Structures are given as structure tokens and as C-alpha cells.
Amino acid sequence: RTRLIDFNKIIDVVNALKNAQNILVLTGAGISTSLGIPDFRSSQGFYSKMKNLGLDDPQDVFSLEIFKRDPSIFYSIAYMILPPDNAYTPLHSFIKLLQDKGKLLRNYTQNIDNLEANSGITADKIVQCHGSFATASCVTCKYKIPGETLYPNLRAKKIAYCPFCENERKSLLRKIEKMEDEGGYSSRYDNIQSFGVMKPDITFFGENLPERYHNTIKEDVRHCDLLITIGTSLKVAPVSDIVNKVPNEVPQILINRDPINHCEFDVELLGYCDQVITWLCGNEVKWNIDHKDFDKILHS
Ligand code: OAD
């Protein structure tokens, strides 16, 4: 992307926010870290905690192939990224504020914590690009349940099974046991461990992004008049490509703790996003971010 717009001063950012009517907000794990939910790739992030799981690449914890072979790996660590009840951050409130002002075209979130909904951002304004913990499905028959139903199992690191597949699962296990006793095990049963296992509807590597993503993104990149990217390393495609799909004349703002060297933005506001946005809205744009635990989160 070629940088076309000359953002020299904070007043340019303020004007961009005030003038824009169709803001596309692209978010990642960094917008939830102030609540104690780890991001993925930082030194203390979720992937840094995968050392003892025997995976070649920590991202494999979200590999569909590996989940199918051994769902216990995901079940052993998913508790670390379970979302807290009813919580959201000042940054989520900022996105809600854009919605209230009629300026939010869409929030494309890579987050699976579903906290956007807690802040009052409506479903039509959110695209959960990587799915979420909000629902879970049986990998075999696709029976769907509310995600929270699975939380006790995830917290206890105990695999949850689909009630409708249970009989078939048990009879398959008996069949395999018999085969093994007779020395005739077949590798086509390698994925039997995941037969009838419930999996949160998170998009794993090897799965398609939700249909909603594909249905909305083409139009939205054409209609947006400002792109704000917040709290993401932009390492995972196709979401990382959104910044290149937006037309060159549309201003792009980055708010992130660390710089992103492989992309070009018109302005980079580097720091903790809750603080950056509070300062920007409170001191410069003069917009009031409404958040119940504002001070607690900002000063923790
Ligand atoms: P990453 O962990 O890759 O990047 C998080 C970014 O947020 C980093 O650049 C941090 O500098 C920044 N950051 C952390 N805390 C921040 C804060 N308080 N304020 C501002 N910035 C902060 O996370 P994502 O880019 O979201 O997939 O990762 C993308 C996808 O990779 C995820 O959706 C996940 C993972 O594989 C699934 O969950 C399926």
C-alpha cells in the first residue's frame, strides 16, 4: 500500500474521526489484554505457554487436523483464553461510541472472546472473522449448543461429547479395541478420538472463515472512509489483507502497542490502546467514552 495522506498532526487524526461516516474497525487480541486475557504472539502471550504440549508450532493448538487426531491438546489449555463474564474494555466502549454516533460501518474482530457484544455493539455491526466461544458444535454431526454450556468442561480440561453421537462413538471404540486385540488396527480410525467431540465454533487453521466474513468484506472495503486497526499483529490471512484491500485514498490509522513493520499506515499511535483512545477522545476529539470500570482498567 502506498501512503497517500499526509497525517502530520494529531489534528489530522481528530478531523479524520470527526469527518468519517463509515469507519471500518479491525481489531485483534490486544484490545482485550487489559482484562487479563492473553494475546497470542507477545512474549507472555498464549502461544508462549504451549511449550510442554509436544507441538512443532504453537499455532497447531488451533489446527483442525491436530484437533481431530487428539482433541485433548486443545481441551488442556483452552481454559486460559475463556472470556470473563460481562466484561469489556474502554476500547470496546470506543467502538460502541462510534456505533452510537452512526459512524461504525463494521467491526471486523479476530477475537474469539465475544466481548464486543457485552459492550453493546450490535450483531449487524460485528464480523467475528475467526468465530467465537459463543457457540460450540459436534465435529461429527454438527449439533450446536450455547458455548457457555461447554465452559465447565473446558475449565476442568475434560473433553465434552455430543449426546447424539455417544452410542455410535462407544460402539466404534469397542470395534477398534477388538481390532487391536486381533492385531488388525487400521489407520482410517486415526481420528476416532474426536468422534462426537464438541468443539467451540472458533475458526481453526484448516477451516474456512465464517460465511458472514466473505459476504460482507468485499462491499465494506469499498464503502469505508476510514480504517482503524487496533491491537493486532496482522499476521493471519485473510484478515491481514484487509489493510491492502481498502482503497489508497482511505486514511488508515494504527493503534497498537508494537509497530507493525510489514504494513504502511498513515498514522501510528503506539501505546496501550485503552490509554491512547481515552486520551484521543477525552483531550482531543472531546468525545466521552462511557465505561463502568473505566478507572479500574485504565490504572491497573
Ligand atoms: P497477536 O497476539 O498476534 O497480536 C496482538 C497485538 O496486540 C500485538 O501486536 C501487541 O503489540 C498488541 N497489543 C497487546 N496488548 C495491547 C494493548 N493493551 N494495547 C494495544 N496493543 C496491544 O494477536 P492477533 O493479531 O489478534 O486465531 O492474532 C490473530 C489471530 O491469531 C487470532 O485471531 C488467533 C491467532 O491464531 C484464532 O483464535 C483462531
The cell for 1 is 500500500
Residue 194 CA to residue 212 CA, distance in Å, equals: 27
- Say what the ipTM of the complex is: 0.99
Q: State the pLDDT at residue 90.
A: 95
Q: What is the mean pLDDT of residues 226-242?
A: 98
Does residue 114's CB lie within 6 angstroms of at least one atom of ligand 1?
A: no
Phi, psi of 63 (to 5 degrees): -90, 130
Quote the mean pLDDT of the chain: 92
In the predicted structure, residue 245 carries a pLDDT above the cut 90: yes
Residue 228 CA to residue 282 CA, distance in Å, equals: 18
- Residue closest via CA to ligand 1's atom 25 equals 232
Does residue 137's CB lie within 6 angstroms of at least one atom of ligand 1?
A: no
Residue 51 CA to residue 39 CA, distance in Å, equals: 16
Residue 78 CA to residue 74 CA, distance in Å, equals: 6
Model confidence band, residue 4 (pLDDT cutoffs 50, 70, 90): low
Q: State the pLDDT at residue 5.
A: 66
The number of the ligand 1 atom at minimal distance from the alpha carbon of 45 is: 2
pLDDT digits (tens, 9 = 90+) for 181-196: 887 766 666 788 899 9
Domains of the chain: 1-37+88-130+209-300 (3.40.50.1220), 40-82+131-202 (3.30.1600.10)
Which one is catalytic: 92, 130, 214, 291?
Answer: 130
- Ligand 1 center to residue 111 CA distance, Å? 8
pLDDT digits (tens, 9 = 90+) for 203-228: 999 999 999 999 999 999 999 999 99
Rg for the chain, CA atoms, rounded: 22
Please say if 214 is a catalytic residue.
Answer: no
Buried b / exposed e over 58-92, threshold 16 CB at 10 Å, is bbbbbbeebbbebbebbbbbbeebbbeeebbbbbb
- Ligand 1 center to residue 232 CA distance, Å? 4
pLDDT digits (tens, 9 = 90+) for 42-77: 999 999 998 888 889 999 999 999 999 999 999 999
In the predicted structure, residue 32 carries a pLDDT above the cut 80: yes
